[in-house]
Chain A
Amino acid sequence: MRRIGDDKTFALAVLIAALLIVGALLGPLVWPLGPLDMDFGAPLAAPSFAHPMGTDSNGRDVFARFLTGARISLAVGAIVVLAGLVVGGAIGVAAGIGGRVVDTILMRLIDALAAFPPLILAMAVTVGLGVGLKTAAIGIALSSVPFFARLMRGDILRIRTLPFVEASVAMGAKRGRIIARHLLPHTAPTMLVQCASVFGYAILTLAGLGFIGLGAQIPEPEWGAMITDGMQYALTGQWWLALFPGLGVLLAVIAANLLADRLEESLNPRSARNQVR
């Protein structure tokens, strides 16, 4: 098997991810300008030493906004992954071990949820709960539940037929112990890959919702909303407004998907391609 460290693409993905994470965590603390600080003396300034990514129409520093935007994107990505994993994973485990009736009921519910295209579902939830960053995160998390539930169910169904599970029953292990000690640890490789993949999906969808005005609202330094704001100036030559947040989304999603791909190859060489695309 190819060693993970020898892989240049993987190294690149790790580098991008590390830069984004460090930027998101430390950037807003270190960079002197705030994402909402306006400088009316310099609206729509081109990238320079003082403003590496230029300024917007109100003279806000795009670099400061980019860093805070990274923070928002990564935070929402993490929250979505965590919520989707816990809720979807629990549903998947219950369906996988609960027998035919439980399995049928849960999976038909998941089918109903997955019948909506994920973006439409996230949009509907966001609009229903009141447009904003938090409701967008809730909507995206909900739309990610089927990804986790289906994968977890399939993995549990596979693992529970392995001989060591029967051996645990013969030993006299309680059901809870069998699930926690013998089933769940074996789903870790698959779930890790799915987490990375959904992380990218969450960032992309959040930006998408922000872009169409259903996520974060415009003064908020969210990448999707920043792209929308910058679009009006694209034709008048202020390309930096939309380009940099766009690059942020692109890099974050690429890094997440590359990590998912490479993790999948190294952890689980025989498994099918990812569920989320």
Chain B
Amino acid sequence: MTGRDIPLLVVDRLEKSFAARSSNPFKPSREILRAVDGISFTVLRGETFGLVGESGCGKSTAARAILRLVEPTGGRVTLDGIDVASLAAEPMRKLRRRMQMVFQDSTGTLDPRMSVRELVEEPLIVHGIGDAATRRAKVDAMLELVGIRAEFANRRPHQFSGGQRQRIGIARALVLEPELVVLDEPISALDVSVQAQILNLLKDLQEKLGVSYVFIVHDLTVAEFFCDRLAVLYLGQVMESGSAKELFADPQHPYTLSLLSAVPRVGAKTGRRTVLEGEVSPLGSGASKGCVFRARCPVGKDRAICAEERPALRPHGTADHTVACHFPGELSLAPA
């Protein structure tokens, strides 16, 4: 029997880099873009692990590398002890039954030529589950679970609203009863009013089915509400990780802090805002040295050690809370 505290997913120093395109065809570029640069985390059974960061920080690439929709260039991903990256095509295909994905773009990821019933039944057919009658029953049950009425099952995706389409996407992922579902910004394309419904649906389904989520998100308030634990990413590296509660109450990394200070909070006194300048951009060829965040860091911009040495992820306080900063906690959320 597998206990709740045994990790379902172990991501160990995961890397994915792309060769940067060169504009000169006779002089191929040697620059390498490290989209995911040594991310490690574990996800327990039944929990939600969040990957948080600005756009361009490598969240989605990390999600795709975990599911091997892109081939990782380094590190290991193990699902329930199975080394995902080393599997051959057919075992990998079969393993996908246990690890599914919900996409941000529910419009594009549902084949417009298929009906809702076909779309939700397809995963079952693909993995050879049940006969036609069993599959039909499963599809009906799943549609009911996500709140799509059975009489609409013969309609095509474009006849639904964005929120309903995302429900269909969720039904497609969960009908296989996977152990892990990667949610790639599942609500960021939706209206605010619908976002809450979908989040609640995902939570309910997690309680009913015991599935683990890896939740890719850029919205910190959503992350706080939805995730048990999370990791804050910057340029493909983990800046800080820990339980959501602790990370939001006691952020240590200047980047986490800057992100949090940008979140409007009802009832809070207007505290000092740490305004980040510029945007996420790779540092170029010298990036292998020093802290990736230093160019925009209010703490370490001019400090020698930040330019010289890449800070390791070190535990802070409780065992689960780790920070990659030479000067953790120097910046604080408290109003000056």
Binding site for B on A (CB under 8 A): 162-164, 166-174, 177, 181-182, 185-186
Chain B residue nearest to A169 in the complex (CB): B69
Find chain B residues with CB under 8 A from A172 CB. 93-97, 123, 126-127
Known contacts A170-B100, A170-B101, A171-B100; A164/B123 CB under 8 A: no
Chain B residue nearest to A171 in the complex (CB): B123
Find chain B residues with CB under 8 A from A185 CB. 113
Partner of A171, one of B94, B105, B112, B122: B122
Find chain B residues with CB under 8 A from A166 CB. 69, 109
Q: How far is the CA of A182 from the CA of B125 in the complex (A)?
A: 14
Interchain nearest-CB distance for B69 vs A (Å): 6
Interchain nearest-CB distance for B309 vs A (Å): 39
Chain B residue nearest to A177 in the complex (CB): B126
Whether B172 sits at the interface, judged by CB under 8 Å, is: yes
Q: How far is the CA of A170 from the CA of B67 in the complex (A)?
A: 7
6 cross-chain pairs, A with B, having the tightest CB-CB distances, nearest first: A172-B96, A163-B108, A167-B109, A163-B109, A164-B111, A170-B101
Whether B103 sits at the interface, judged by CB under 8 Å, is: yes
Find chain A residues with CB under 8 A from B126 CB. 171-174, 177
Q: How far is the CA of A102 from the CA of B38 in the complex (A)?
A: 34
Find chain A residues with CB under 8 A from B127 CB. 172
Number of B interface residues at 8 Å Cβ cutoff, please give it: 22
Interchain nearest-CB distance for A26 vs B (Å): 36
Chain A residue nearest to B113 in the complex (CB): A185
Chain A residue nearest to B89 in the complex (CB): A175
Find chain B residues with CB under 8 A from A162 CB. 108
Chain B residue nearest to A163 in the complex (CB): B108
Partner of A174, one of B93, B97, B101, B109: B93
Known contacts A177-B126, A185-B113, A186-B113; A170/B108 CB under 8 A: no
Q: How far is the CA of A122 from the CA of B75 in the complex (A)?
A: 56
Q: Are B113 and A170 in contact, CB atoms less than 8 angstroms apart? A: no
Q: Are B101 and A163 in contact, CB atoms less than 8 angstroms apart? A: no
Interchain nearest-CB distance for A45 vs B (Å): 57
Whether B116 sits at the interface, judged by CB under 8 Å, is: no
Binding site for A on B (CB under 8 A): 67, 69, 93-97, 100-101, 103, 105, 108-113, 122-123, 126-127, 172
Additional pairs, 6, CB under 8 Å, beyond known A168-B122, A170-B96, A172-B126? A163-B103, A169-B69, A170-B69, A171-B172, A172-B97, A172-B127
Q: Are B105 and A163 in contact, CB atoms less than 8 angstroms apart? A: yes
Find chain B residues with CB under 8 A from A182 CB. 111
| 22 A-B pairs whose Cβ atoms sit less than 8 Å apart in the complex | A163-B108, A164-B108, A164-B109, A164-B112, A166-B69, A166-B109, A167-B103, A167-B109, A167-B172, A168-B111, A170-B69, A170-B96, A170-B100, A171-B96, A171-B122, A172-B95, A172-B96, A172-B127, A174-B93, A174-B126, A181-B111, A182-B111
Q: How far is the CA of A219 from the CA of B267 in the complex (A)?
A: 97
Find chain A residues with CB under 8 A from B105 CB. 163
Find chain B residues with CB under 8 A from A169 CB. 69
Q: Are A164 and B110 in contact, CB atoms less than 8 angstroms apart? A: yes
Find chain A residues with CB under 8 A from B67 CB. 170
Chain B residue nearest to A188 in the complex (CB): B113
Q: How far is the CA of A163 from the CA of B113 in the complex (A)?
A: 14
Q: How far is the CA of A173 from the CA of B126 in the complex (A)?
A: 5
Interchain nearest-CB distance for B89 vs A (Å): 9
Find chain B residues with CB under 8 A from A164 CB. 108-112
Find chain B residues with CB under 8 A from A181 CB. 111, 122
Q: How far is the CA of A164 from the CA of B100 in the complex (A)?
A: 14
Interchain nearest-CB distance for A101 vs B (Å): 18
Find chain B residues with CB under 8 A from A174 CB. 93, 126
Find chain A residues with CB under 8 A from B122 CB. 168, 171, 173, 181
Find chain A residues with CB under 8 A from B101 CB. 167, 170
Interchain nearest-CB distance for B77 vs A (Å): 14
Interchain nearest-CB distance for A144 vs B (Å): 27
Chain B residue nearest to A164 in the complex (CB): B111
Chain B residue nearest to A172 in the complex (CB): B96
Chain B residue nearest to A186 in the complex (CB): B113
Find chain B residues with CB under 8 A from A170 CB. 67, 69, 96, 100-101
Find chain A residues with CB under 8 A from B111 CB. 164, 168, 181-182
Chain A residue nearest to B101 in the complex (CB): A170
Q: How far is the CA of A167 from the CA of B97 in the complex (A)?
A: 13
Q: How far is the CA of A172 from the CA of B96 in the complex (A)?
A: 5
